[in-house]
């Protein structure tokens, strides 16, 4: 089905796309035409991933939060890969994610690890609904909580 073939590049995990036994120069079965260009939302997601990765490492090392990433408010309006986002599902998750991001910046230092992990959970919750490929990568962003 054409739609699934278009959705795959952004939402499948990159590892899964490696063909373990490449035969001759046959390209993977893709619908005729160019692969869709990387969407604004996909670029924003890469930025969010990098932010979560470095913020988690900072917090685990007992360092302070980076400056509040205002740019992520664009999650509500960024253009997605065509056919990717059903806004009636996406928008409440996106809003919940932004609220959780705010909570990270307003919660006491002692609770930041927990609130950060809840933020990563909110990434995973949305991805469980519409874009499961990056879930493995998202789960690795969690800070291990072993101090109890
Ligand atoms: C509200 C839903 C939602 C939330 C919250 C969300 N994502 Fe996404 N994410 C998506 C959608 C939809 C796409 C596909 C975007 C597209 O192709 O246009 C995506 C794409 C991605 C991609 C693939 C980008 C690429 O290179 O194509 C990664 C990685 C990713 N998200 C990681 C994260 C991380 C990490 C978080 C939390 C910090 C997060 N996402 C939060 C919905 C969400």
Query: Within a domain: residue 103?
Result: yes
Domain count, the chain: 1
- What's the gap in Å between 41 CA and the centre of ligand 1? 7
Residue of 51, 7, 53, 60 lying closest to 30 (CA atoms):
7
Query: Within a domain: residue 92?
Result: yes
* Tokens representing residue 85 in the block: 């986002």
Nearest CA to ligand 1 atom 12: 85
Nearest CA to ligand 1 atom 41: 123
Residue 39 in contact with residue 78, Cβ under 8 Å?
A: yes
CA distance 70 to 137: 23
| Single pTM value for the model | 0.84
* Tokens representing residue 148 in the block: 């109890």
* Tokens representing residue 125 in the block: 């919750």
Query: Within a domain: residue 66?
Result: no
Q: Which domain holds residue 125?
A: 85-143
Query: Within a domain: residue 41?
Result: no
Query: Within a domain: residue 118?
Result: yes
Residue-wise pLDDT for 49-98, tens only, equals 999 999 999 999 999 999 999 999 999 999 999 999 999 999 999 999 99
Query: Within a domain: residue 139?
Result: yes
Query: Within a domain: residue 8?
Result: no
Residue-wise pLDDT for 123-142, tens only, equals 999 999 999 999 999 999 99
* Count of beta carbons in the 10 Å neighbourhood of residue 70: 7
């Amino acid at each position: 089905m054409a739609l699934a073939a278009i959705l795959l590049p952004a939402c499948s995990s990159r590892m899964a796309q490696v063909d373990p036994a490449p035969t001759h120069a046959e390209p993977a079965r893709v619908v005729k035409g160019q692969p869709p260009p990387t969407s604004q939302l996909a670029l924003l997601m890469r930025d969010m991933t990098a932010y979560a990765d470095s913020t988690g490492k900072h917090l685990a090392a007992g360092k302070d939060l980076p400056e509040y990433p205002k740019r992520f408010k664009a999650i509500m309006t960024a253009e997605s890969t065509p056919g990717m986002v059903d806004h009636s599902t996406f928008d409440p998750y996106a809003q919940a994610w932004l609220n959780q991001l705010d909570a990270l910046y307003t919660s006491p230092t002692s609770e930041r690890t927990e609130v950060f992990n809840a933020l990563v959970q909110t990434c995973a919750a949305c991805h469980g609904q519409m874009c499961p490929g990056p879930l493995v990568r998202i789960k690795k962003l969690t800070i291990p909580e072993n101090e109890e």
